[in-house]
């Protein structure tokens, strides 16, 4: 079992869940938060490479899949935000979090990452826990804009699923740090005109929070995700990704006084059970591979 990759996947999910905290504290628009998350994330990645003597990694051509994934990274964030403008948050986030199981099913048929009954059941368990967190409610507001929101949510889901899958098939010779830097950089460049179009006002007190946005949900979370995806099957990463909505709920509860119902708390526990089960399953598979590689087997 690659325990480091599993920890990285959980750290990524928790880190990505903090973006709402920074957005709520600063009160800035989604385009601004997303731009600084990705652009400053690329800056922190570059600083990390400089301090560790790995700056040579950014001089290497990363390949088109890496650059395309930078666009997917920006796309899944901004389309999700746009979807929430036309439909409810519950509907939008439910659509986005169909991406991990969708990626797992695609990987099953086309990438040779076969789903067993146990792994498929654990993915279903995580989805059920997520539905519990939404209290099994999907609101369908009147008006034609709802369908537009559903469409944007589906586009966001597609971008997120592509982000997972493309990271799984990038040439192994391209270093994880190279992948992360260019994905953050491309995503930031795509968001730049959208950010500038709104002519945002950035008071001095917001800059430390913007730096935190680039550091935690940007640099740390995306680097952890890219590292985990380079080592874990899509199904394992996808199940562990459900720690992100748990993080969002817990942050809202502890920092902003948002209440949790017993059903939502139970949903958190179900998702954790699914993640622990997928980790145990991955450990069992790893042990089988080690045993089969021993002499005399």
Question: How far is the CA of 53 from the CAs of 47, 60, 216, in angstroms?
Answer: 10, 15, 22
Hunting for tokens 């439909």 — which residue is that? Answer: 87
Residue 204 lies in a domain: no
Question: What is the extent of the structural domain holding 134?
Answer: 3-198+209-286
Residue 294 lies in a domain: no
**Lowest mean pLDDT, pick from 162-176, 177-191, 229-243:** 229-243
Residue 264 lies in a domain: yes
**Cα–Cα distance measured from residue 249 to residue 277, given in angstroms and rounded to the nearest whole number:** 22
- Residue 166 is predicted with a pLDDT of 93
Band (pLDDT 50/70/90 cuts) for residue 294 is very low
- Residue 56 is predicted with a pLDDT of 92
Residue 25 lies in a domain: yes
- Residue 89 is predicted with a pLDDT of 63
DSSP letter string, 47-64: HHHHHTT-GGGGGS---H
Query: What total number of domains does the chain contain?
Result: 1
Q: What is the mean pLDDT of residues 22-40?
A: 90
Q: Is the pLDDT confidence value at 295 over 60?
A: no
pTM given for the model: 0.84
- Residue 23 is predicted with a pLDDT of 84
Angle between helices 19-26 and 243-256 (to 10 degrees): 30
**Lowest mean pLDDT, pick from 6-15, 71-80, 105-114, 273-282:** 273-282
Hunting for tokens 């005109």 — which residue is that? Answer: 193
Residue 297 lies in a domain: no
SS3 label, residue 191: helix
Among candidate residues 171, 165, 172, 168, the one with its CA nearest the CA of residue 106 = 165
DSSP letter string, 23-51: HHHH---HHHHHHHHHHHHHHHHHHHHHH
Band (pLDDT 50/70/90 cuts) for residue 297 is very low
Phi and psi dihedrals of 295, rounded to 5?
Answer: -60, 145
Residue 296 lies in a domain: no
DSSP letter string, 72-140: HHHHHHHHHHHHHTTS-HHHHHHHHTTHHHHHHHHHHHHSS-PPPHHHHHHHHHHHHHHHHHTTT----
Which DSSP category does 67 fall into?
A: H
Question: Exposed (0-12), middle (13-18) or buried (19+): which is 42, by Cβ within 10 Å?
Answer: buried
Tokens representing 167 are 């990271």
Band (pLDDT 50/70/90 cuts) for residue 265 is confident
Find all residues with CB under 8 Å of 277, minimum gap 6, and list them.
118, 122, 125
Residue 261 lies in a domain: yes
- Residue 132 is predicted with a pLDDT of 86
Q: What is the mean pLDDT of residues 63-87?
A: 87
SS3 label, residue 212: helix
């Amino acid at each position: 079992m690659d325990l480091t990759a599993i920890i990285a996947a959980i750290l990524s999910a928790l880190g990505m869940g903090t973006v709402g905290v920074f957005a709520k504290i600063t009160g800035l628009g989604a385009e601004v938060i997303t731009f600084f998350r990705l652009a400053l994330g690329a800056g922190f990645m570059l600083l990390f490479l400089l301090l560790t003597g790995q700056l040579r990694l950014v001089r290497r051509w990363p390949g088109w899949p890496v650059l395309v994934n930078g666009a997917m990274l920006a796309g899944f964030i901004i389309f999700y935000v746009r979807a929430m403008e036309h439909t409810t948050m519950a509907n939008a986030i439910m659509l986005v979090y169909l991406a991990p199981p969708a990626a797992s099913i695609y990987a099953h048929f086309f990438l040779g990452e076969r789903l067993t009954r146990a792994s498929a059941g654990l993915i279903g368990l995580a989805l059920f826990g997520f539905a519990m967190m939404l209290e099994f409610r999907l609101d369908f507001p009147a008006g034609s804009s709802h369908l537009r929101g559903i469409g944007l949510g589906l586009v966001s889901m597609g971008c997120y699923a592509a982000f997972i899958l493309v990271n799984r098939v990038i040439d192994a010779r391209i270093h994880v740090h190279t992948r992360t830097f260019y994905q953050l950089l491309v995503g930031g460049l795509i968001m730049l005109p959208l950010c500038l179009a709104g002519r945002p006002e950035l008071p001095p007190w917001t800059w430390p929070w913007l730096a935190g946005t680039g550091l935690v949900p940007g640099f740390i979370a995306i680097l952890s995700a890219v590292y985990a995806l380079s080592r874990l099957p899509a199904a394992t990463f996808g199940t562990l990704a459900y720690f992100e909505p748990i993080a969002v709920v817990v942050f809202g509860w502890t920092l902003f006084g948002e209440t949790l119902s017993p059903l939502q708390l139970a949903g958190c526990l179900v998702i954790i059970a699914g993640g622990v089960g997928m980790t145990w399953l991955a450990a069992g598979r790893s042990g089988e591979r080690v045993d089969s590689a021993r002499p005399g087997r």
